[in-house]
Chains A and B, each alone.
Chain A
């Protein structure tokens, strides 16, 4: 009895050392593949959702920064235009041009647009909002902008309609196109005055 038990234990140990049979290995591989396939299939919509979410977050993140960026450039546009006889703001070929005499000697406007930030041009191209300062080249200022429409309903108001674009098409169902971002800017340098600014 004791001998038989010892033999059984030896056989078991031998079996454990020799690994699985071919059938066991094939079955386990097949089952494993099935499980992995099922897992990947289940994961696929999640991957799409994740990619789409990243795409939408990227667009929203870009759109979020645009108002404060544009407000700093557009609101002071036309500073000192009365004395200089400059238009200050104009639109040509879907490009918004902004002239603002902001600085000069002594810290006050000097009549020249000699600083790069005193003459800006904005446009939407190649999925970007681009800005050109002074005589430089257009540079990207914000991503995810498909189109820029500019309106001047009155002298004092400027309306920008930005069409936000996704960095890549969505993988999942639905388009989830964002609403156009409409920004209305009051231009303080164009507010009507009761008396002429320059009376000579």
Chain B
């Protein structure tokens, strides 16, 4: 009887010991699990937050790239051409509350205002790690929502980093979001609307032969602006002898020479050409953006010998000769002192701007310009080529911010 009791007591002790050990092991495992869970949550959230910010920045970069080629009227009104219903967000790509919950790969917007082509994008990461951005443009708050006069637009990019790693033992985490916003100005101050635009008080124009052509198409052949008088108009008219006047054609009677003073003053974008800081800033910064000879934006002060081929926006300074068979498609700006000569069979398809501003002393003091066109040279206005050249100019970034949830988006 005693032996049976003793054996029984030993068995009970072993059972209790084993249970105690199992309990301790369970507590240890639970502690490790919760610690790992906490670290996992921190790591995932931190990584997802960074990923969402990168995606938001990517969205802004994409918006910057496509903006110069977009028509703001169509962009702001959307594909249906009508503003969205009242109450629908015209600033946010989608609400933050919605963005936290949705599968971003399946999202489609209810309101089409301000959506550029490719308004929704993603990176090339594997699907489980892929991040997304959603974009929406809107007009700057200083103007009516559908009417852009100053060229300034605001874009918001919502970066979304979804969490696809799910496990019953691990906590569920919502999408991580970052909302970035940039204020961008489309540069339309150089959207010229005639074959030759002259900003000068006076000028020397030499037309050789009777086979040259200045053709404005449905616009003026030549338009001019002067701050102090109309001597430039006289210089232009007097330079054309006999039938040469018939070689300057456009929307007006030949010679198609247009006084653009009123047009410029009425246009907010064109008026920027008269601001002292406009040309000064442009000339100072241009060397950083020079992409000669590939283009599409180039500064050329000493052209190479031989025919010149270029497409985009070309800035010329000093004495420049476009030799025979040269062809430039886009926008040509001849700035400062010097002579611009177009040799036989050379051609500019797009528009030519000439000005000689003294930005050092008086930013808008316009000196004389000098243009020579040889027989068989051509200057033909092409709106499409001008638009292509303008699309090569990056928009000016005025602001860039992250909108945090505690702010009022």
Contact = CB atoms under 8 A, between A and B. Distances in A.
A80 B399 contact: yes
Interface residues of B, number: 45
B402 A195 contact: no
Given A72-B53, A107-B409, A188-B182, A194 B402 contact: no
Nearest to B402: A76
A189 B398 CA distance: 7
Given A71-B50, A192-B285, A194-B396, A64 B43 contact: yes
Contacts of A195: 185, 187, 189, 278, 281-282, 285, 396
Interface residues of A, number: 35
A65 B408 contact: no
Contacts of B60: 188
A188 B50 contact: no
B279 to A, nearest CB: 9
Contacts of A71: 50, 53
Contacts of B289: 192, 194
B272 interface: yes
Contacts of A57: 39
A27 B60 CA distance: 79
A107 B92 CA distance: 12
Contacts of A184: none
B281 A68 contact: no
A8 interface: no
A192 B398 contact: no
B217 interface: no
Given A79-B399, A102-B407, 18 more contacts: A65-B46, A67-B46, A68-B50, A71-B50, A80-B398, A102-B403, A103-B407, A108-B141, A188-B57, A189-B399, A193-B394, A194-B289, A194-B393, A194-B396, A196-B277, A197-B397, A199-B275, A199-B281
Interface of A: 13, 57, 61, 64-65, 67-68, 71-72, 75-76, 79-80, 82-83, 100, 102-103, 106-109, 117, 188-189, 191-200
